């Protein structure tokens, strides 16, 4: 086979036009796809290997299909940035000017925008990527299920790839259609939630009549005791959502014990709520926490509580 062009030599992506120019027949291209040696993830675009496609691979597929105006957005950007709690990546989303009328094709989805010229972008591997906040909103609009959307939004905020104000600004400037789950997850972040299980527990606590905060800082005699996931106001009780991700290693377990001792020294009870319990029956987990709080004595007067979000009840 003739020597490949520099761009696809680096990224193993070629169009039908590229390959025809190298005197390769369409039948030969399709034989390689059928044999499993190559992939055809979009009409007229071939990946010249059989490996799992990376975010960069998918980005070059989309660029080869849609042209030079493409800005990559959505879930593929977040995978490239290494965010946590992301659904599996199967397709690539691209933003194109409103004048572009190319249809979606296989693993490439194109979204026209009148604000294409105003998009904030960064460059990697010869591709233009949307900024993280725009990618979070675009991914959240397309990913089904509130739990996954919460993972996208809360993970991005927790890792400082996005802010509540930045996400709200993008949402307010765009169409409301399809944005309900993203707006809900942004509200969770505004309340102080740092993970999807915390948001699910907060949902179950709302309406309980007992005031509480999410992830506040608790100080005792000028010393930071910690930030319980749930803090029942006027009670010396905090709720801690336990997960393998946070407490799975020996170091994490030791850290958990140390934190528990700090709370005990300040005469604060920590109620541990496993993620599996929340996922199985969030209402029951909330009732357990509330029952412990209602039986507890008021908190010591020398505690200082620094809120992260509003008082909920």
Alpha-carbon gap, residue 284 to 273, rounded angstroms: 11
Sequence length of the chain is: 313
Alpha-carbon gap, residue 283 to 100, rounded angstroms: 48
Task: Inform me whether the pLDDT recorded for 249 exceeds 60.
Answer: no
Backbone torsions φ then ψ of 113, nearest 5 degrees = -140, 135
Between residues 274 and 246, which one has the greater pLDDT?
274
Residue 85 DSSP SS3: coil
Q: Is 153 left (phi over 0), alpha (psi -120 to 50) or beta?
A: alpha
Q: What is the pLDDT of residues 165-196, one digit of tens each?
A: 999 999 999 888 889 999 999 999 999 999 99
Tokens of 97: 């000017």
Alpha-carbon gap, residue 81 to 73, rounded angstroms: 12
Alpha-carbon gap, residue 303 to 244, rounded angstroms: 30
What pLDDT shows up at residue 252?
45
Between residues 9 and 98, which one has the greater pLDDT?
98
Task: Inform me whether the pLDDT recorded for 273 exceeds 70.
Answer: yes
Share of the chain above pLDDT 70, in %: 92
Q: Where are the beta strands (DSSP E) in the chain?
A: 13-15, 39-42, 45-47, 71-73, 92-97, 108-113, 121-124, 127-130, 212-214, 217-220, 223-226, 230-232, 237-242, 269-274, 303-306
Average model confidence (pLDDT) across the chain: 91
Task: Inform me whether the pLDDT recorded for 248 exceeds 90.
Answer: no
What pLDDT shows up at residue 255?
65
Dihedral of alpha carbons 49, 50, 51, 52, sign: positive
Question: pTM for this one?
Answer: 0.90
Tell me which residue of 180, 183, 181 sits closest to 169, measured CA to CA: 183
Q: What is the pLDDT of residues 100-149, one digit of tens each?
A: 999 999 999 999 999 999 999 999 999 999 999 999 999 999 999 999 99
DSSP-assigned states of every residue in 140-184: HHHS-SHHHHHHHHHHHHHTTS--HHHHHHHHHHS-STT-HHHHH
Q: Which domains does the chain have, with CATH numbers?
A: 6-47 (no CATH), 55-191 (no CATH), 196-306 (3.40.960.10)
What pLDDT shows up at residue 261?
86
Sheet holding 303-306, edge to edge: 223-226, 217-220, 303-306
Alpha-carbon gap, residue 285 to 233, rounded angstroms: 18
Alpha-carbon gap, residue 152 to 143, rounded angstroms: 9
Share of the chain above pLDDT 90, in %: 81
CA distances from 88 to 152, 218, 306 (A): 12, 37, 37
Q: How many angstroms from the chain centroid is the CA of residue 20?
A: 40
Task: Inform me whether the pLDDT recorded for 4 exceeds 80.
Answer: no
Query: Residue 177: how many CA atoms within 13 Å on its side-chain side?
Result: 1
Q: Cα-atom radius of gyration of the chain, to the nearest Å?
A: 25
What's the whole-number mean pLDDT along residues 62-77? Answer: 96
What pLDDT shows up at residue 10?
59
DSSP state of 52: P
Provide the β-strand partners of residue 232. 212, 237
What pLDDT shows up at residue 253?
40
């Amino acid at each position: 086979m003739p020597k490949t062009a520099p761009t696809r030599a680096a990224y193993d992506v070629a169009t039908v036009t590229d390959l025809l120019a190298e005197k390769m027949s369409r039948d030969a291209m399709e034989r390689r796809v059928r044999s499993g040696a190559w992939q055809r993830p979009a009409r007229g675009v071939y990946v010249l290997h059989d490996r799992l496609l990376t975010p960069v691979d998918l980005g070059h597929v989309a660029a080869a299909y849609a042209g030079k105006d493409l800005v990559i957005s959505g879930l593929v950007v977040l995978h490239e940035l290494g965010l946590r709690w992301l659904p599996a990546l199967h397709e690539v989303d691209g933003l194109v000017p409103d004048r572009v009328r190319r249809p979606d094709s296989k693993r490439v989805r194109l979204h026209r925008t009148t604000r294409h010229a105003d998009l904030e972008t960064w460059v990697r591997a010869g591709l233009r990527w949307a900024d993280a906040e725009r990618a979070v909103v675009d991914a959240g609009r397309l990913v089904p299920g509130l739990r996954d959307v919460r993972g996208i939004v809360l993970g991005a905020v927790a890792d400082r790839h996005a802010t509540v104000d930045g996400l709200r600004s993008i949402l307010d400037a765009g169409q409301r259609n399809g944005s309900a789950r993203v707006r809900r997850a942004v509200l969770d972040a505004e309340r102080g939630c740092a993970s999807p299980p915390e948001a699910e527990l907060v949902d179950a606590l709302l309406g309980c009549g007992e005031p509480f905060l999410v992830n506040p800082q608790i100080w005792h005699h000028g010393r930071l005791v910690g930030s319980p996931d749930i803090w029942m106001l006027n009670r010396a009780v905090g709720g801690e959502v336990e997960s393998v991700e946070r407490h799975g290693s020996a170091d994490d377990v030791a850290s958990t014990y140390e934190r528990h001792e700090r709370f005990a020294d300040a005469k604060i009870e920590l109620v541990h709520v496993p993620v599996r319990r929340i996922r199985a029956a969030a209402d029951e987990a909330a009732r357990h926490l509330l029952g412990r709080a209602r039986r507890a004595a008021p908190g010591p007067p020398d505690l200082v509580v620094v809120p992260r979000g509003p008082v909920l009840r």
